[in-house]
């Protein structure tokens, strides 16, 4: 595509009609990467001309999602509706030059015209003094989109209507507003989903009528779920907010989403954002639709979680759980760093440090039988004697118990786990005991022993 030295001006132009979905996030990311790669400019343009669906709340949601993804922009947010005067000026110019005209025809007149001229023929109106404003489309030739991803795509002009660019009251339509904005904002590349490809010839016709040089286009293939169907809620988290709430890290999301259709050919390569910026080129995006697979994102997120510096990890866990990062939470995070694939998975692993063991009858019945009592007794005794209560000394004290009692390690450690956490899953048992501390550990083991003594013993 462009020489490395050319600074691009790109835009992300969401319609604020709901949450930012993963496809939109990818479009935003690709534009951001293109801007940062070329040391260019990213404009955030809010396409809010649909006044009924474009709410302030939706705009905020999109901005919040971009903030969370850590994608910043250099200009904007620019409100498209706020550019109405520019649109009106451009429209006026086209009316004056004769490139556009008012057409008094009503819907039924257009229908009758089409019935007469055949369905493949684009409608041509007759200029009048009132009615919707149409752009004159040439009868001959093709409008050609030179797409960076799809190559040359031709659209025969004769099949296009003299399409409506503004209503009778002068309010402009979508394709017109986009064309005027892209031109006046000096956008050099339009990177967007290929659901917009069918709009592009119309936008090119408007740009040509206005005498503007068109931008370059890159239409990115849409995302699908692993079942081959268009990506939707059925496939799990569908919006950026849902990804955040599910405990994914923005850096992992950027990495995974960048690889959906672009990159080294698989969707499992760990690339830092710096690396993405260095390598990204929109013309390298593939032509086939990419598959968003939340399981792969989970896997990648797990890699990010494990490889993050502890400090950063602990801060992320604290923020995600809206807790203050005190030394206890810090130690708890440390022992769970290897175990969780998402931020959501961390708290259940370390909750026992901050709250009493949870009631899990099933775990209790499964583990607290046979020699469990014996194992707990021996562990309590050993732990009482530990001086420095750290993971190493805990291991030295408790580690020999299985052999001493002639039990498999699980027959000793699982009862301790259930006693201190209520569950059968926790970080490493010695670390868990050490972080919980002597007092609470002994108390919980004692409670468990009392409960065991009060119940009718079950056979192993």
| Closest CB to ligand GLU among residues 42, 394 | 42
Measure Cα distances from 123 to 100, 136, 137, 216 in Å.
Answer: 14, 10, 9, 28
Q: How far is the CB of 13 from ligand GLU (least distance, A)?
A: 4
Instruction: CB nearer to ligand GLU: give 203 or 273.
Output: 203
In DSSP notation, 285-318 reads --SSPEE--HHHHHHHHHHHHHHS-HHHHHHHHH
Q: Is 233 a catalytic residue?
A: yes
Distance of CA 100 to CAs 123, 126, 282, Å?
14, 11, 34
3-class DSSP assignment, residue 58 = helix
Nearer to ligand GLU, 186 or 264 (CB): 186
- According to DSSP H, which parts of 235-354 are helical? 240-245, 250-258, 273-279, 294-307, 310-320, 327-336, 346-354
If the CB atoms of residues 181 and 294 are measured against ligand GLU, the closer one turns out to be 181
Report d(CA 77, CA 24) in Å as an integer.
Answer: 16
Give the residues across from 135 on adjacent strands: 100
Nearer to ligand GLU, 41 or 426 (CB): 41
Place of tokens 């672009």: 262
Q: Rounded to the nearest whole angstrom, what is the least distance from the CB of residue 429 to ligand GLU in the complex?
A: 51
Minimal distance in Å, beta carbon 15 to ligand GLU?
4
Q: Which residues are CB-contacts of 176 (< 8 A; sequence separation ≥ 6)?
A: 87, 90, 91, 135, 165, 166, 206
Rounded least distance, CB 2 to ligand GLU, Å? 19
Residue 337 Cβ, how far from ligand GLU at the closest point, in Å?
38
Q: Quote the CA–CA distance of 297 and 313 in Å, as a whole number.
A: 18
Find out whether the peptide bond into 77 is cis, omega within 30 degrees of 0: yes
| CB 366, min distance to ligand GLU, A | 52
Q: Which of 233, 278, 366, 408 is catalytic?
A: 233
Which 3 state secondary structure label does DSSP give 74?
A: coil
Pairwise CA distance, residues 417 & 423, whole Å: 7
The H-assigned helical ranges of 118-199 are 174-184
Question: What are the residues whose beta carbons fall under 8 Å from the beta carbon of 119, sequence distance 6 or more?
Answer: none
Q: Which residues contact 288 (CB under 8 A, 6 or more apart)?
A: 221, 261
Nearest to ligand GLU of 21, 417 (CB atom): 21
Comparison of 15 and 269: residue with beta carbon closer to ligand GLU: 15
- Under DSSP, the state recorded for 183 is H
Shortest distance in whole angstroms from residue 388 CB to ligand GLU: 60
Using the minimum distance from each CB to ligand GLU, give the nearer residue, 184 or 390.
184
Q: Please, are residues 30 and 282 in contact by the beta-carbon 8 Å criterion?
A: yes
Q: How far is the CB of 80 from ligand GLU (least distance, A)?
A: 8
Interaction site with ligand GLU (CB under 6 A): 13-15, 47, 178, 190, 192, 196
Residues with a known catalytic role: 233
């Amino acid at each position: 595509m462009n020489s490395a030295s050319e600074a691009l001006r790109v835009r992300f132009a969401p319609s604020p009609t709901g949450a930012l979905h993963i496809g939109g996030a990818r479009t935003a990311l690709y534009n951001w990467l293109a801007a940062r790669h070329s040391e260019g400019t990213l404009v955030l343009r809010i396409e809010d001309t649909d006044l009924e669906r474009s709410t302030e709340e939706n705009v905020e949601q999109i901005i919040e999602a971009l903030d969370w993804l850590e994608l910043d922009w250099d200009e904007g947010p620019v409100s498209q509706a706020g550019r109405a005067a520019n649109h009106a000026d451009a429209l006026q110019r086209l009316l004056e030059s004769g490139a556009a005209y008012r057409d008094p025809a009503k819907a039924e007149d257009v229908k009758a015209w089409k019935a007469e001229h055949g369905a493949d023929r684009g409608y041509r109106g007759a200029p009048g003094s009132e009615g919707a404003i149409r752009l004159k489309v040439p009868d001959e030739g093709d409008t050609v989109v030179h797409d960076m991803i799809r190559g040359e795509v031709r659209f025969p002009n004769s099949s296009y209507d003299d399409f409506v660019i503004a209503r009778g009251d002068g309010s402009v339509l979508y394709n017109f507003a986009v064309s005027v904005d892209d031109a006046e904002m000096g956008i050099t590349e339009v990177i967007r989903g290929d659901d917009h490809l069918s709009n592009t010839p119309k936008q090119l016709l408007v740009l040509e009528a206005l005498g503007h040089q068109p931008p370059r286009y890159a239409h990115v293939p849409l995302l699908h779920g692993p079942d081959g169907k268009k990506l939707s809620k059925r496939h799990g988290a569908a919006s950026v907010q849902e990804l955040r709430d599910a405990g994914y890290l923005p850096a992992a999301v950027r990495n995974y989403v960048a690889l959906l259709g672009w990159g080294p050919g698989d969707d499992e390569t760990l690339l830092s954002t710096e690396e993405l910026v260095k390598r990204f080129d929109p013309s390298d995006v593939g032509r086939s639709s990419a598959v968003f697979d939340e399981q792969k994102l989970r896997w990648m997120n797990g890699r990010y979680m494990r490889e993050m510096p502890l400090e950063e990890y602990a801060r992320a866990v604290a923020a995600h759980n809206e807790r203050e990062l005190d030394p206890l939470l810090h130690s708890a995070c440390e022992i769970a760093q290897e175990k969780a694939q998402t931020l959501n998975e961390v708290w259940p692993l370390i909750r026992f440090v901050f709250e009493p063991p949870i009631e899990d009858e099933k775990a209790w019945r499964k583990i607290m039988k046979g020699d469990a009592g014996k194992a707990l007794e021996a562990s309590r005794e050993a732990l009482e004697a530990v001086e420095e209560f750290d993971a190493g000394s805990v291991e030295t004290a408790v580690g020999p118990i299985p052999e001493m009692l002639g039990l498999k390690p699980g027959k000793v450690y699982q009862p301790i786990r259930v006693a201190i956490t209520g569950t059968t899953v926790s970080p490493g048992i010695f670390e868990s005991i050490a972080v919980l501390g002597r007092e609470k550990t002994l108390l919980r083991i004692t409670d468990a022993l009392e409960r065991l003594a009060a119940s009718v013993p079950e056979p192993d």
